[in-house]
Amino acid sequence: MRNRQVGVLGVIVFLIFCFYSISRTSPVGLRPLPKQESKAQGAANNQPDPSEIIAFTSKKFASTKPKPAPGGGHPIVHLVTDAEREFEEVKGRQSRTLRDAVAEYRRRYGLPPPPHFDKWWEFAKSKNVLLVDEFDTIHELLTPFWGLKPATIRARVREALGFGLDNQLMGVQVRNGTATHIFGGFEWLQTALIDMMGSFVGFLPDMDLAFNVNDEPRVVVPHDDMVRLMRIAQTVAMPTVNAKRALRNGFTEKHADLNYDGRFDEVKQTRFNLFAHQAVWTHSRMSCPPDSPARILEEDDQYDDIEKYALSNLGFVYNWTAMSDICLSPSLSSTYGFFERPNAYGVVHDLVPIFSQSKISSYADIIYPSPWYWADKVPYSEDVDPAWDSKLDRLYWRGSTTGGFSRNGGWRRQHRQRFVQKINAPDQAKILTPSPNPPSTADTNNNWTTLEVPRGNFKSLIDVHFSHIGQCDQGDCDAQRAFFSVAEYAKQEDAFQYKHVLDMDGNAFSGRFYALLRSRSLVYKWAIFREWHYEWLRPWVHFVPLSLHGEEWLEVVRVFGWGGGNGNGSNGGSGGGGEGGQEEGGKRKKKKVAARGETHGDGANANAGSRGNANHNDDWGRKEAERLAVQGREWAGKVLRNEDLEAWFFRLLLEYARVIDDDRENIGYSG
């Protein structure tokens, strides 16, 4: 009897084990794939069924309501008009003489300019730098360092570099007017950085510089520490300098603590913590104000304050700074690859001067112009860039699954995967259509109605796919290959065949941005990493910004691309044909003649018309897209030259040299 019971129990255990094993064979959250299509069919049609859509975040976040849009024209009309008016004012008020520049500097920052400001001015003017006053970013980056003693800052650099390569830094010494690479970094980075400094290094004092060799930023200072540093800087150190009437236009020649034998003294301890492939949201938010959404104690009470940056029901970006402020958007903790599991990460929580090529808003790295751009690592050639009318009327992107390292299904919480999935999803999307009975008063925003339409009806407007799966454990790589339609490898020049090109963050900033801006295509930007050019390139003037949440993504492309149908996205089911939107040989087909009672404007016919109204002329979107593409291209050619990067870097290092000088209270340019 006992043997029979044991046998029955064994059979039951075996069946349970088999059932469990079978249930674990598919990746979590993914249904079995449908019957395999040919590669040719898959590239065009292999989108998951609505039942196969997975959740691309581990939780849902509440949010505030977007700011109401003004009445009258489409929200994009207001955004473009306002942005261009503001930027024209910025260009028109730039200083024309050194004396004007010194006065403007004092007005903005309550300080005299640093030593050799006259040399910088001469350099900038000789290089035809256009925005000679727009350097608020440098002031914001370096102000906290005024809260430390100069000797403390220099000691922290020596300590960081003295620990060697394990701190993932590159050390550079400036001695006797020459920059010398000491250790760390890729060879191209070493060469480009030294060469980028070559035209002005003779005006710099002797100093040590620590450059981040990772893509990801490194320095997060707790909020209470940062508040104390800023208070000391703004109420003690900086006012002391501003009160001095006689200033010396030069730096201290040699500080006693600098090493002059071509090395950094070895140290045995480091304050950097290295832990790649782990979540870093808790570290990243510690510099946020305690009353910000990111610091709310109960996760279930957290919310995204999109009112600070989003306009209209669809959430068009009106404040690029607020949109990239992670303290306002705790949902980033489970929707952006950097926070979910960065590919590399080494963080310090004391204020250490680390120069990085980009950073997150909450980090205190000192950003500088990227040698990647200066060395033209992603070149642009006009020979492979067709004229606007010869380009395809679609939004194009190809890239890899960088942004974070995927393990245990983490790709579902990373931003590139979320964007590619959402823009191609077989779900409902929102567009704006003219209200049938718009109000007569101009102070309302009821001229436009939000309409839900099948996103797939506009699929001919979108050509956004991964071309490589990487930065993942084998299981996660396999799951992504199964879920996404992975396209063939694409060359950079392939993007230039399209009128609309997308640029988005990877592990950090995207190195393609400048090449895309120089092209004849309109650039759409989806990013939270901040770079040096933050004040020099403006959304809605030089590129089209896309929001974090993505409710407006399709509408923005639809307005500028005109691929919609008759207001509900239905026109032959393609979403691309309503107004002659199909392409043939790279060019748009001739517009069909409407039969009686047939309309060809898609829901945003609307958006077209004069710059101020955009309600009746359905050519406005296409014309505006071309105009903005030309405007961005021309401006990039004027402010993204190597000379511009050098001028910005020159001024940054003059400012940094002053803040680490023991005699900083008595040096500066008084004019």
pLDDT at 25 over 90: no
Strand segments, DSSP code E, in 334-493 are 346-347, 354-356, 366-367, 392-400, 428-434, 448-454, 462-468
Looking at residue 138, what is its pLDDT? 98
Instruction: Tell me how far CA of residue 168 lies from CA of 99, 163, 216, 347, 358, in angstroms.
Output: 42, 10, 11, 10, 16
Assign 191 a pLDDT band (cuts: 50, 70, 90): very high
Can you tell me whether residue 179 is helix, strand or coil?
strand
Looking at residue 72, what is its pLDDT? 85
Assign 612 a pLDDT band (cuts: 50, 70, 90): very low
Mean residue pLDDT of the chain comes to 86
Assign 446 a pLDDT band (cuts: 50, 70, 90): low
Q: Are strands 462-468 and 498-504 parallel, antiparallel or unpaired?
A: unpaired
Strand segments, DSSP code E, in 472-580 are 498-504, 522-526, 544-545
Write down the pTM of the prediction.
Answer: 0.85
Looking at residue 531, what is its pLDDT? 98
- Domains of the chain, by residue range, sit at 66-71+383-589+600-639, 96-308+339-376+641-666
pLDDT at 616 over 60: no
Average pLDDT of the segment spanning 478-491: 97
pLDDT at 466 over 50: yes
Average pLDDT of the segment spanning 137-161: 98
pLDDT at 147 over 70: yes
pLDDT at 197 over 90: yes
CB 555 within 8 A of CB 311: no
Please give the share of the chain, as a percent, with pLDDT higher than 70.
Answer: 81
Per-residue pLDDT tens for 551-608? 999 999 999 996 333 333 333 333 333 333 333 333 433 333 233 233 233 333 333 3
Per-residue pLDDT tens for 248-265? 999 998 899 999 999 999
pLDDT at 16 over 60: no
Looking at residue 61, what is its pLDDT? 79
Looking at residue 231, what is its pLDDT? 98
Average pLDDT of the segment spanning 119-126: 98
Instruction: Tell me how far CA of residue 175 lies from CA of 73, 262, 302, in angstroms.
Output: 59, 9, 50
Looking at residue 9, what is its pLDDT? 55
Average pLDDT of the segment spanning 491-510: 97
Per-residue pLDDT tens for 157-184? 999 999 999 999 999 999 999 999 989 9
Tokens 């245990």 — which residue? 408
Per-residue pLDDT tens for 28-70? 333 233 333 333 333 334 443 433 344 555 457 799 999 999 9
